[in-house]
Amino acid sequence: MKFENKTVLITGASRGIGRSIAEEFAKNGANVAFTYLSSVEKGQALEKELGEFGTKVKGYRSDASLFEEAETLVNAVVADFGKIDVLVNNAGITRDTLLMRMSEEQWDEVLRVNLKSVFNLTKAVTKPMMKAKYGSIINISSVVGIMGNAGQANYSASKAGMIGFTKSIAKELGSRNIRCNAIAPGFIETEMTGELNEAQLAEWTKSIPLKRAGQGSDIAKACTFLGSDDAAYITGQVLVVDGGLLM
């Protein structure tokens, strides 16, 4: 049990990649705290499901993009679990459209939810992690934060910002034995990609050397590696998990 007696906090875990990450950590013995926002039912269902692995699990309804809520969340998790060993900044949204049609609101919302939330939670966990002289912070970025994508200027900018933030925090906190890395998923099958038609899916997979979309479990396993002591000498890095798309 790689994460026995370790506590992991994951934002945006009620569905998609976040849900897979929460399951993988629980499966590997971690106590799991996670956030959800829109659906209380989904949050409660996940709490029950993860609890079947035999570790302590608790869901919190919290908006990571709000500074004060992030601070309150971290304090609550530390009070309930005693510590936070690993933080996974996963919460994110898309508001895709071409720049010429993109509203200021669509730009601001994506940057607030995707990037400001990473600042909020990372700042909030810094104090307990520095006190413990131990921690791993993992930011879920995207390949479009590296290569860009038409119709996703806001999303690409937010994910590129996460990479710069990751490298800076790794330099700031490394002397305190706190690591910070990013994962850049490629085309991953989630509820969102489920809305694409067969022609769109075929177009995407054609450009991937492995000729298939990734699964949430592919990102989750990369996440548990970076969060574990197996990656104790890895910090400031971006692990691209994309089936070879960026080669």
Q: Is 16 annotated as a binding residue?
A: no
Contact 129, 121 (CB under 8 A): no
Can you give the pLDDT at residue 196?
66
Can you give the pLDDT at residue 70?
98
Residue 155 appears among annotated catalytic residues: yes
Rounded to two decimals, the pTM is: 0.96
**Domains by residue range for the chain, with CATH:** 7-241 (3.40.50.720)
Per-state percent for the chain, helix, strand, coil, to nearest 5: 50, 15, 35
Distances (CA, A) of 98 to 102, 152, 184: 6, 7, 22
Q: Is 163 annotated as a binding residue?
A: no
Can you give the pLDDT at residue 44?
92
Catalytic residue among 60, 134, 155, 233: 155
Can you give the pLDDT at residue 195?
63
One digit per residue, the tens of pLDDT, for the chain of length 247 reads: 899 999 999 999 988 999 999 999 999 999 999 999 988 888 999 999 999 999 999 999 999 999 999 999 999 999 999 999 999 999 999 999 999 999 999 999 999 999 999 999 999 999 999 999 999 999 999 999 999 999 999 999 999 999 999 999 999 999 999 999 999 999 998 876 666 677 777 888 889 999 999 999 999 999 999 999 999 999 999 999 999 999 8
Give dist(CA 92, CA 239) in Å, integer.
18
Contact 64, 121 (CB under 8 A): yes
237 by Cβ neighbours in 10 Å (0-12 / 13-18 / 19+) ranks as middle
Q: Is 158 annotated as a binding residue?
A: yes
